[in-house]
Amino acid sequence: MPKTEVKIIGFLCNWCSYAGADMAGTARMKQPASLRAVRLPCTGRVNPLLVLKAFREGADGVLVSGCHPGDCHYNEGNYYARRRLEVLERMLPALGIDPARFRYTWVSASEGAKWADVVNEFTQQVKQVI
Amino acid sequence: MSMNDLIPAIKKVLEEVDVVLGWTRSPAAGVAVPARFHTPDEADGAIFDSTCIHNLAVHLPRLKNSKVGIVAKGCDARSIVQLIVEGEVSRDRIRVIGVPCPGVIDVKRAWRCYGFGKKIEDAGGRVHMEGRSVPREEILLHKCHQCRDQEPVIVDLAAGDVTSMTPPPPPDKSGIRERFAAMSITERREFWREQFSRCIRCYACREACPLCFCRDVCSMQTREPHWTGGQVNAIESEMAQQVRISHMAGRCTGCEECERACPVGIPLMLLLEEQNKIIEELFAYRAGASLEDKPPLLTYDINRDGGWR
Ligand code: SF4
Ligand code: SF4
Ligand code: FES
């Protein structure tokens, strides 16, 4: 039986996805209340341990979102992040965590609609496996 | 190889260094134990055989102020290379003595089966323990079955022909690796919960690892950042190990020392081997394989990265 309420921790880059999420909010786009956003200066700040710790503290899903590759405010933060997050994602099955509970993605400040889609879709996905 | 090659090599290297890290025979147990040779006389006690299981590279970052010689198997040489690549050891401060490796025996497992402290003899393709014997491929360390380091990547002086044995095929297909691979994600969650409930937070895994060199600022223990508490329970201990494993990404050479050191037998290599495989698939990188490679998580490649999704 899929859970109805899930808790998702979002680690969002201040310069893009956080603003995108804000925009989706101001435009009153329909989004689930599942996401708890943590605002970070850049995805380069996302230590993979933040994700593992969120799971350990009981998060149902963890979403990391930042500027599109090439658009990082600090030029290269998300290039480093991309490598770390990919390794983390592939490690999850061995750690005994369903990889469907984790996603990293790129959403810019102007993509409010895309943001709403990402959150809706990811929330559905998490509900399926929790 | 006979000690006729090794002992003169150590003596030669002692002319330029303060100490040589190698092995001698434990009079009590008969197996190899790590030793430090400071003088030619001491070097007469040096041995190399298939019980020389230890990765002596772990001592290099702790001997920062001396010139050090080190006897190294193929896989140990990779740890040394990785330490140089990471800037922990300077190349001109060390002298590496390469040895031809026959594969090393899982001494702990042998003793668990046949009695602790039993004399181990490796001869004629079999390992003998007081009257009993098993084919040596049954008791070799897992890493030796898939050894890709027959020739050390870094050698200053070779004790004999340093090309090692061709690895024999792994014997049993019903080991822990196969069982783990067959588990569902939920079963793995249970598995790790159970495994880490036995962890006593001794940090032997970290101390045995040549590439765990943060010493007193290790995040498995620090209050700030507070990744994990000091309580000894499955949840905190698993988090502590996740800290270590994530810090090993792109750094672990697969030497198996953490697992060997663990007093409660947690199969840590299941996680490290998986991570090493992922790193190699994504970045074509094997830690310690070359002095020129840049550790994959300290760099990026705009053109290729992301193509893996
Ligand atoms: S992995 Fe290779 S070099 Fe290392 S101990 Fe085994 S056989 Fe020797
Ligand atoms: S060596 Fe084993 S028991 Fe000790 S801290 Fe590491 S995992 Fe825990
Ligand atoms: S500033 Fe947004 S990912 Fe770096």
Q: Which of B32-46, B97-111, B115-129, B194-208 has the lowest mean pLDDT?
A: B115-129
Q: What H or E segment, with its residue span, contains residue B141?
A: none
* Domain assignment of residue A53, yes or no: yes
pLDDT digits 0-9 by tens, A56-97: 999 999 999 999 999 999 999 999 999 999 999 999 999 999
Residues B227, B243: contact at Cβ < 8 Å? Answer: yes
With 0-12 / 13-18 / 19 or more C-beta atoms within 10 angstroms meaning exposed / middle / buried, residue B78 is buried
Residue A2 lies in a domain: no
Tokens (6 digits) for A1:
């039986």
> Are B72 and B23 in contact, with CB atoms under 8 Å apart?
no
* Residues B244, B246, B251, B257, CA torsion sign: positive
Query: What's the pLDDT band for B130 if we cut at 50, 70, 90?
Result: confident
Q: Is A56 on the interface with B (CB under 8 A)?
A: yes
Contact A83 B297 (CB under 8 A): yes
Of B38, B81, B79, B26, nearest in space to B56 by CA: B79
Q: At a CB cut-off of 8 Å and minimum separation 6, what does A14 contact?
A: A39, A40, A41, A42
Interface touch B278/A90, C-beta < 8 Å: yes
- Whether the CB of B261 sits within 6 Å of ligand 2: yes
Rounded CA separation B97/B117 (Å) = 29
Q: Which residue has the tokens 């810019």?
A: A108
Contact B309, B282 (CB under 8 A): no
Q: Which atom of ligand 1 is nearest to the CA of B148?
A: 2
Residue A18: inside a domain:
yes
Closest to B253 in 3D by CA, of B15, B45, B27, B78: B78
Model pTM score: 0.94
Statement: residue B164 has pLDDT above 80: no
ipTM: 0.95
Residue B2, Cβ density class (10 Å: 0-12 exposed, 13-18 middle, ≥19 buried): exposed
| Neighbouring residues of B307: CB distance < 8 A, sequence distance ≥ 6 | none
Q: What is the domain range of residue A125?
A: 8-129
Q: Is the pLDDT of residue B309 over 80?
A: no
Q: What percent of chain B has pLDDT over 90?
A: 73
Gyration radius of chain A's alpha carbons: 14
| Cβ-defined contact of A97 to B189 (cutoff 8 Å) | yes
CATH number at A89 reads 3.40.50
Q: Looking at the DSSP assignment, which residues form a beta bridge with residue B98?
A: B72, B158
Q: Which residues 6+ apart lie within 8 Å of B288 measured at CB? A: B77, B78, B79, B80, B81, B82, B85, B153, B253
**Which of B249, B270, B309 minimises the CB distance to A94?**
B270
- In chain A, the number of structural domains is 1
Give the mean pLDDT of A31-53. 95
| Per-residue CA distances from A97 to A100, A130, B146, B194, B227 (Å) | 9, 10, 28, 15, 18
Q: Degrees (nearest 5) of the Cα angle A61, A91, A106? A: 55
* Ligand 1, CB cutoff 6 Å, lining residues: B 73-75, 101, 103-104, 141, 143-144, 147, 149, 164
What pLDDT shows up at residue B136? 87
Q: What are phi and psi of A8, to 5 degrees?
A: -120, 130
| Bridge partners, A2 (sequence order) | none
For residue A1, tell me if it sits in a domain. Answer: no
